Amino acid sequence: KMQMTATLTEALQEWESHQKEFQVIQENHQRYMQNLHEVSEMQSCISATIAHQRKSLKDFLQSLKTKGLAEEETKHVEEIKEHIQERQSILSQMEAFLPKKNGIYLCLVLGNVNVNLLSKRLKAAYKDEYEKFKLCVTVILLLLAFTCRFFVTYRFVDALMNFLLVWYYCTLTVRESILINNGSRIKGWWVAHHYISAFLSGVILTWPDGELYQMFRRQFLSFCLYQSFVQFLQYYYQSGCLYRLRALGERHNMDLTVEGFQSWMWRGLTFLLPFLFFGHFWQLYSSIYLLSMAPVPGCKEWQVSVCGLSFLVLFMGNFFTTIAVVRHKLKNTSLNRSKSR
Ligand code: COA
């Protein structure tokens, strides 16, 4: 009996400590809910005032006229106009940390749920996860393409791979829309590229087995293998850029300067670009190959010309966008050099 009482006392003591802990949790949670309520009210209030200020600034800008003013007055008005432009961009920076309505695509896929992440840390973590997701799927695709190319020639396994490609590209378009909502400067073409790639993989999925399919299959699988390899290089370059840019933004790593970042970026780019351009010309080759196959009398499949055209669009978009990106970077680098002199 003695032993039982001792155990009961111990149990009661422990229960007491659980009670205390629970009380603290409850109080903290209550405070948290209250803060959450306040934050949500502040978000609506600030969003509304920003919208109001935007509209009134726009009206004000339209009402500002320099016609018939003296030189001094015109200068003054121009200065105000410049300030308004600056103000607009500051307002946009503020909006990056407020809930936002989704665009049409995200509304269709997700409904109107807020996807704006409300801190820099969360935004950065989401971007990292996007890069890692691409890497993981690339490994799976590489294995599948390798198996199909060298070991297994079943239409069904090919279909499995193409199905994965359709799913992957669709997922990327959703993730990229979320990234853009969160302030990423990803070019519209790269997103369009993923829409077109999803379409292309879908068309290949419906291509019936036959002589033409078998002729195209080998080089398509080799291209998939090559693309996965380039994706590894791209991952290394892009995650390196992200890491360095973040360090530069936070300034906790004082060894890193803008020039240091740019020299790393150019070293990465000059290594990557030949591989990228080779991939682009492979897309052009696939397009010419398919389009020259299309008019042959035995060719009845519509997939041949549609895939040929899609490859052509992909080649043109990828090639010209990459050149535009490099030109823009060259201009920025020389601008930076002349500024630092
Ligand atoms: N896919 C997804 N996001 C991309 C991207 C791509 N292909 N290219 C650039 N971005 C993102 C960057 O991560 C960055 O995002 P952030 O604003 O969130 O930080 C933003 O777009 C701006 O990047 P930018 O400075 O213009 O380019 P970069 O230095 O990151 O990359 C290239 C330049 C040319 C290396 C890159 O665009 C690329 O790899 N393009 C080739 C893709 C291709 O042709 N694939 C087919 C191969 S066969």
DSSP string, 6-37: HHHHHHHHHHHHHHHHHHHHHHHHHHHHHHHH
With a 6 A CB cut-off, is 186 part of the ligand 1 pocket?
Answer: yes
SS3 readout for 35-102: HHHHHHHHHHHHHHHHHHHHHHHHHHHHHCCCCCCCHHHHHHHHHHHHHHHHHHHHHHHHHCCCCCCC
Asked if 66 and 74 count as a contact pair (C-beta separation under 8 A), the reply is yes
- The number of beta carbons lying within 10 Å of the beta carbon of residue 140 is 13
Give pLDDT < 70 ranges for the chain: 1-4, 251-256, 341
- 224 CB burial (10 A radius; 0-12, 13-18, 19+): buried
3 state DSSP class of 113: coil
- Residues 177-180: contacts with CB under 8 Å, at least 24 apart: 177/103, 177/105, 177/106, 178/106, 178/115, 178/126, 179/126, 179/127, 179/130
Cα 287 from chain centroid? Answer: 27
Q: What is the pLDDT of residue 261?
A: 87
- Nearest alpha carbon, ligand 1 atom 34: 322
- Nearest alpha carbon, ligand 1 atom 6: 190
With a 6 A CB cut-off, is 322 part of the ligand 1 pocket?
Answer: yes
Q: How far is ligand 1, taken at its centre, from the CA of residue 116, in Å?
A: 21
Q: How far is ligand 1, taken at its centre, from the CA of residue 255, in Å?
A: 25
With a 6 A CB cut-off, is 184 part of the ligand 1 pocket?
Answer: yes
Q: Tell which atom from ligand 1 comes closest to the C-alpha of 194.
A: 1
d(CA 214, CA 122): 46
For 253, which DSSP code?
-
Q: How far is ligand 1, taken at its centre, from the CA of residue 13, in Å?
A: 60
With a 6 A CB cut-off, is 180 part of the ligand 1 pocket?
Answer: no
The torsion of the CA quartet 101, 107, 109, 111, rounded to 10 degrees, works out to 80
Asked if 162 and 201 count as a contact pair (C-beta separation under 8 A), the reply is yes
Asked if 242 and 250 count as a contact pair (C-beta separation under 8 A), the reply is no
Residues with Cβ within 8 Å of 113's Cβ and at least 6 positions away in sequence, in order, are: 102
Q: How far is ligand 1, taken at its centre, from the CA of residue 231, in Å?
A: 11
Q: How far is ligand 1, taken at its centre, from the CA of residue 126, in Å?
A: 16
Crossing angle of helices 258-293 and 303-340, in 10° steps, is: 160
Q: How far is ligand 1, taken at its centre, from the CA of residue 118, in Å?
A: 24
SS3 readout for 147-204: HHHHCCCCHHHHHHHHHHHHHHHHHHHHHHHHHHHCCCCCCHHHHHHHHHHHHHHHHH
